[in-house]
Structure formats: C-alpha cells, structure tokens
Amino acid sequence: MNLTDKKLFLLDMDGTLYLDEQLFPRVGDFLRHIRAAGGRYLYLTNNSSRGAETYVEKMERMGIPAEPEDFFTSVDAAIRYLRRHKTADDRYYVCGTESFKRQLRAAEFRLADGPEETVTTLLCGFDTELTFQKLEDACILLNRGADFIATNPDWVCPTWYGYAPDCGSVCEMLTRATGRRPEVIGKPQPLMALLAMEKAGCSRAETVLVGDRVYTDIACGVNAGIDTVLVLSGESTLETVEQFDVKPTAIYPDIAALLAAMEETVP
C-alpha cells in the first residue's frame, strides 16, 4: 500500500483518534497533513449514542475544527438502510439513547415508547441510558417475532477507566435470553464505507480505512474492498490480530506512527 496514493481517509474515532476527552498525540498534525496533500477525511463511527453535532462540539473542545459533514455515523447508515429495506408502515422500538431517537424521528420514522403490538422492529444501538425495562421490552418484542436490527456489533467502548459494554454486548444478552440474533448495519458491514466513498467521490484504490478494531473497522474495509490500517491505541493488540481471519493491510502503534510513515513517503 502506497499512502501517497490515498485521497480519502475513513477514520474511526474512539480508540483511534482519542480516548474519552483525551486526543492522542499528533492527531491534529495528521489531519492537517491529509488536507495539505489534497486529500479528505471522513469520521466513521459505530457509536450511535450521539449525533454529528455532539461530535463537532467534542472535536472542537479538543482543538480540532470540524463540521457535521465530516461525520458518518452508524445512525446515518441505519437511516439509509431502513429507507431501503422497510416501509412507511413499520414501527420501531429503540433500545438506544434519546439522541438516537431524535435522529430517527427527524428522519420521519415512527417510534413506539413500549412493546406495543404495532411494533415491527427492535432497533438497538450503543445505549448509555440503558435500563432493565428496555431489556425486558426488547425480550417481549423478540419473543413476539419483531425484526431485530443492531447499529453495530462492538463488544465494548473504550473509556479512560478501561472498557464499557457496547451494543454488541447488549445484543448478546438479548440473544442469550431469546435465541434471536440481530442483523447488523454498521461496521463490519461495508455499507458505511461504500456510502462514504460515494459521498466523497473517491474510488476503492484511493481510499483507506483507519481504525483500532479488527472485527469491525478492519473487517468493514476488507468487506468494502479497500486498504486498511490498524492502530494499536485502542482495543486491539498484535495478539488480537492473530485471533481473526481478516487482516489489516498495515499496522501502526498509533496515529503518530502512521503520520511519520506518511511524512517519509511524501514525494
């Protein structure tokens, strides 16, 4: 992989660019380098708990200028997926945050507050407002035969204290309780990467995906047919890589090391 050939950098966020409110070293330099070389970056995140505006505020708090158009979240992918595969008659129960629900309502989807008979689909995301009532409602709906869709399969979300259960862990609880497994929309499915390339007008050869998880970030890039870079600043280790059949094109300790490699290859 020749990094100088890349025009579009699809960047994971949590564990790749920052941890909680702590920006990793040289991330700002990395983003400026991409722009200075005539490239573009888009932030791809499986985290459905926040909207793009919240991410803009977060990046700016860390000293990184950002616009809503710089972000493509699993909620964006979910909205596009539901519009293609569902009908106006479908009604959703959301096991997710109020921010997630607001984005769905803004996209004119019909939501239910409880496990009503009219609910056709259970939609799960990374829920930082999770309650046992939501889990119980979800089980009622799944046992009743509602469709089961998840924004992402991530087991954990990196934090300053270690890790917290992510959407994949909650869905696993529901699977153990009901025997039902969700259809996943976000990474590792290729949809987010393909839509991002379409948005930026870039080809597969011009695109690279950078992330810290093998089973979501790297798998998404491989499934989309693009080069991938794994950074070891988040969930994955070199030992983790050996546990999966899917492999990254390249591995770097962190964004600073990736930037150093890019600076060395500048013509």
Residue 266's pLDDT is 59
Superfamily of domain 3-46+187-264: HAD superfamily/HAD-like (3.40.50.1000)
Domain regions of the chain by residue span: 3-46+187-264, 85-184
In the CATH hierarchy, which fold is given to the domain comprising 85-184?
Rossmann fold (3.40.50)
First to last CA, the chain: 15
Tokens 């932030």 identify what position? 43
Residue 30's pLDDT is 97
In this predicted structure, the answer to whether residue 25 has a pLDDT above a threshold of 60 is: yes
Rounded Cα distance, 16 and 59, in Å: 13
Q: What is the pTM of this model?
A: 0.81
Tokens 């056709």 identify what position? 120
Q: Residues with Cβ < 8 Å from 263, sequence gap 6 or more?
A: 33
Closest residue by Cα to residue 128 from 104, 159, 93: 159
Q: SS3 letters for the chain?
A: CCHHHCCEEEECCECCCEECCEECCCHHHHHHHHHHCCCEEEEEECCCCCCHHHHHHHHHHCCCCCCHHHEEEHHHHHHHHHHHHCCCCCEEEEECCHHHHHHHHHCCCEEECCCCCCCCEEEECCCCCCCHHHHHHHHHHHHHCCEEEECCCCCEEEECCEEEECHHHHHHHHHHHHCCCCEECCCCCCHHHHHHHHHHCCCCCCEEEEECCHHHHHHHHHHHCCEEEEECCCCCCHHHHHCCCCCCCEEECCHHHHHHHHHHCCC
Rounded Cα distance, 187 and 72, in Å: 12
| 80 and 191 Cβ atoms separated by less than 8 Å | yes
| 108 and 80 Cβ atoms separated by less than 8 Å | no
Q: pLDDT digits over 195-254, tens only?
A: 899 989 999 999 999 999 999 899 999 999 999 999 999 889 999 899 999 999 999 999
The three-point CA angle 256-207-231 to 5° equals: 30
Residue 264's pLDDT is 86
Q: pLDDT digits over 58-95, tens only?
A: 999 999 999 999 999 889 889 989 998 999 999 999 99
In this predicted structure, the answer to whether residue 147 has a pLDDT above a threshold of 90 is: yes
Whether 3-46+187-264 and 85-184 share one fold: the answer is yes
Q: Residues with Cβ < 8 Å from 7, sequence gap 6 or more?
A: 38, 39, 40, 200, 202, 206, 207
CA quadruple 264, 21, 220, 190: dihedral positive or negative? negative
